[in-house]
């Protein structure tokens, strides 16, 4: 059997997440204190991520993607990851592609660059603008600051608030069948 290799950063994140009791995660989601939990995850993982070598921006993007996917699932926030729309690969779409097609104003697109090449990032943002004209609904997760009118999350300082920001930006109760499980 040929198993696909798991990225070492993803493995690090999920091994750490296994050590956190599920009731603690649920408590953070219920009490809107996910920034504390995300900070805890980042504080644990970031030193190892920086020591791994290789492409730091790629490693940070894998860290952010893995952690965000986990948090979105546990917060019952519908999302789709790594989807292609109009020939463009989108990292994360909240809540889903159907909403993006029908009502882009009710959708957030999260961009996670694999390399810190400003021109490539600007090119990607410009392509995303063609399907999401509201620049406030294009969010970019970066290792370092970048001049843009899109909402930015610098991993080491801004990322902890992203789940709460998503909840405040979109009314997802109408868009998910899981809303009955929300606290």
User: What pLDDT shows up at residue 173?
Assistant: 57
∠ CA 142-145-146, rounded to 5°: 95
Nearest to 59 by CA among 140, 138, 135, 116: 116
User: What pLDDT shows up at residue 4?
Assistant: 77
User: What pLDDT shows up at residue 177?
Assistant: 45
Listed by start position, the domains of the chain span 8-181
Q: How far apart are alpha carbons 90 and 111 in whole angstroms?
A: 7
pTM: 0.89
Q: Which residues of the chain have pLDDT under 70?
A: 1-3, 172-183
User: What pLDDT shows up at residue 180?
Assistant: 39
Nearest to 118 by CA among 163, 81, 89, 152: 152
Instruction: Give yes or no for a contact between 138 and 90, defined as CB atoms under 8 angstroms apart.
Output: no
Residues 128-176 pLDDT 10s? 999 999 999 999 999 899 999 999 999 989 999 999 999 999 876 555 4
User: What pLDDT shows up at residue 171?
Assistant: 76
């Amino acid at each position: 059997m040929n198993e696909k290799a798991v990225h070492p950063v993803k493995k690090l994140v999920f091994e750490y997440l296994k050590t956190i009791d599920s009731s603690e995660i649920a408590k953070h989601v219920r009490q809107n204190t996910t920034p504390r939990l995300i900070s805890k995850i980042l504080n644990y993982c970031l030193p190892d991520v920086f020591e791994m070598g290789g492409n730091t921006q790629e490693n940070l993007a894998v860290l952010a993607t893995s952690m965000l996917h986990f948090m979105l699932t546990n917060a019952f926030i519908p999302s789709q990851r790594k989807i292609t729309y109009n020939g463009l690969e989108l990292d994360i779409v909240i809540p889903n592609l159907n909403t993006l097609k029908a009502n882009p104003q009710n959708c957030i697109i999260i961009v996670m660059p694999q390399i810190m090449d400003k021109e490539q990032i600007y090119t990607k943002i410009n392509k995303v603008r063609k399907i999401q004209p509201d620049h406030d609904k294009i969010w970019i997760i970066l290792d370092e600051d970048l001049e843009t009118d899109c909402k930015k999350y610098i991993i080491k300082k801004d990322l902890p608030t992203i789940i709460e920001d998503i909840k405040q930006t979109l009314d997802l109760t109408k868009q998910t069948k899981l809303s009955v499980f929300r606290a």
